[in-house]
Amino acid sequence: MENELVDLVMEETRERMAHAIERVRAEFAAVRTGRASSALIEHLNVDYYGTETPLRQLANFSVPEPRLLVVAPFDKGALNAIEKAITNADLGLSPSNDGNVIRLAFPALTEERRREFVKVVRTKAEEGKVALRGVRRHARQELETLAKDHGLSSDDIEHLEKVLDKMTQDEVAAVDVLLHHKEQELLEV
């Protein structure tokens, strides 16, 4: 019984840490690098006939050139609403609408803007690390509760805490690797 509960806590912790890493990846993808990427806008909500709808449910995205993103709505009636949502998002992009698709030209980033984006991704990476540590703290609390309720030995708890620390260190290192790659991508001219 005890081992099953401990295994359940550890598995839940792994899943929550993996989810935190995926969230960091998604946030990094939303940071503009000067290259066209649908990740920057696909999460935007569009007022589609009175309902807030994610843009990814309303359109296809394509990148015909490295600095050009084309948004092709499934319903041509949503074109103006999509254009308005992109404009209101204040992403530094000017949508151009030809009646069928919206084209977004990504201007080259200045050195100053690149440095600002590096600061943004460092902040997002730190938030991800804090989230991972929060998952570890929650798991420790659950293990302590199990120790009280089911009489786990202090040696077992100490071993499990070492496993949790190692798991957390590995995931924090993964965030650092993601951060390093994103910084390189941002600073690349």
pTM strictly above 0.85: no
Average pLDDT, the chain: 87
The pLDDT tens digits for 96-148 are 888 889 998 887 778 888 888 889 899 999 999 999 999 999 999 998 888 88
Nearest partner of 61 among 22, 103, 121, 27, judged by Cα: 103
Cβ-in-10-Å burial (0-12, 13-18, 19+) of 120 comes to middle
Token pair 């070492």 is found at 162
User: Percent of the chain having pLDDT more than 70?
Assistant: 97
Spatial separation of the C-alpha atoms in residues 156 and 161, rounded to whole Å: 9
Q: Are residues 49 and 88 in the same domain?
A: yes
Averaged pLDDT for residues 17-27: 92
Which of 105, 127, 161 delimits the end of a domain? Answer: 105
With cut-offs at 50, 70 and 90, classify the pLDDT of residue 189: low
Predicted local distance difference test score (pLDDT) of residue 91? 74
Predicted local distance difference test score (pLDDT) of residue 163? 93
Predicted local distance difference test score (pLDDT) of residue 1? 46
The pLDDT tens digits for 59-110 are 999 988 888 889 999 988 888 899 888 888 777 778 888 888 999 888 777 8
Among 28-32, 50-54, 120-124, 164-168, whose mean pLDDT is lowest?
28-32
- The boundaries of the domain holding residue 26 are 2-30+110-187
Spatial separation of the C-alpha atoms in residues 117 and 157, rounded to whole Å: 42
Q: How many CB atoms lie within 10 A of CB 9?
A: 20
Does residue 151 carry a pLDDT above 80? no
C-alpha distances out from residue 14 to 18, 166, 168, Å: 6, 12, 9
The two beta strands, 45-48 and 51-54, are: antiparallel
Which of 60, 90, 105 delimits the end of a domain? Answer: 105
Spatial separation of the C-alpha atoms in residues 173 and 189, rounded to whole Å: 26
Task: Quote the tokens at residue 68.
Answer: 């050009």
Q: Are residues 100 and 153 in the same domain?
A: no
Spatial separation of the C-alpha atoms in residues 20 and 25, rounded to whole Å: 9
Spatial separation of the C-alpha atoms in residues 122 and 179, rounded to whole Å: 7
Into how many domains does the chain fold?
Answer: 2
Torsion angle of the four alpha carbons 112, 28, 38, 43, in this order, in degrees rounded to the nearest 10? -110
Which of 57, 81, 105 delimits the end of a domain? Answer: 105
The pLDDT tens digits for 4-13 are 888 888 999 9
